[in-house]
A = this chain, B = another copy of it.
């Protein structure tokens, strides 16, 4: 039988890696010849989850090999987030929880997107629908994915379906959800070996807001003050990025995973928009945004509104 590759998005996070592994497991149990793959390096957080459950990272691919005709996408659908030669292969399935955009096929396919907090939550359903029992290791990877995407069930993107799935999966994986979850998030939040340049690029995304280009970089930590000890160095680096990319605003979001707040550093000509959008005052270019943890739901939306006023 022809082999099918299953992979998530570029700059893979824990949901993308774990969902690729889990869905390949399910597909193989259902009789398909499936193999998980990844489009980028494994983060510390993801590696912690893989080690915890004794699972190998999927193979790295730069593009889909010529002898593979069929692929399945998990945790993404937009072509610019996918493998470089995505238009040369046949997409037979998509399992995702994002908006649909910049995606098309020539033929009908199985496309399943649900508005939940995590792809792993959908896969948990699919094991049940197919009557396949989850092994401890796979349940462990799936609960890790939910913990990651929901910041341990605290993110506003998290739904009741995700919460229920996380509890079910933690039981099968034989871990205490809160204890394991915090350990895993802390492993991902260990920034001690990162350079300032890495901190600013490891999870940075650029957005168009009105006529302005805005970049928002986010890092998770257990102690924001540790990062802001190097504020001068951080701001010098950001000034260079703003110049190179002609940005109106660079917002550095340091999210405290223990308190579920974020301390942001705003740079660029549009820094005042941050004050207006969040009704706050920057001091030393910084402000604490209480209860803000989701870039997608709590930052991009309000900033876009301010920039398009």
Chain A residues within CB distance 8 Å of chain B: 97-115
Contacts and interface: CB of A to CB of B under 8 A. Distances in A.
Contact of A109 (B100, B102, B110): B100
Q: Chain copies in the assembly?
A: 2
B108 A110 contact: no
Contacts of A109: 99-100, 113, 115
A106 B98 CA distance: 9
Contacts of A101: 104-105
A113 B106 CA distance: 14
A102 B114 CA distance: 19
Contact of A100 (B99, B111, B114, B115): B111
A174 B112 CA distance: 33
A251 to B, nearest CB: 21
Scoring A103, A110, A113 by chain B CB atoms within 10 A of each residue's CB, the highest score goes to A113
16 contacts: A99-B104, A99-B107, A99-B108, A99-B109, A100-B100, A100-B104, A100-B105, A100-B109, A100-B111, A101-B104, A101-B105, A103-B103, A110-B114, A111-B111, A111-B112, A112-B113
Contacts of A114: 108, 110
Nearest to A105: B99
A115 B106 CA distance: 12
Contacts of A103: 100, 103-104
Given A100-B100, A111-B112, 9 more contacts: A99-B106, A99-B108, A99-B109, A100-B109, A108-B115, A109-B115, A110-B113, A111-B113, A112-B112
Nearest to A112: B112
A113 B115 CA distance: 15
Contacts of A99: 104-109
Contacts of A108: 97-99, 113-115
A137 B115 CA distance: 31
A154 to B, nearest CB: 19
> Which A-B residue pairs are the 7 nearest by beta carbons?
A108-B115, A111-B113, A101-B104, A99-B105, A99-B108, A100-B105, A99-B107
A139 B274 CA distance: 55
A302 to B, nearest CB: 15
Given A111-B111, A112-B112, A114-B110, A104 B105 contact: no
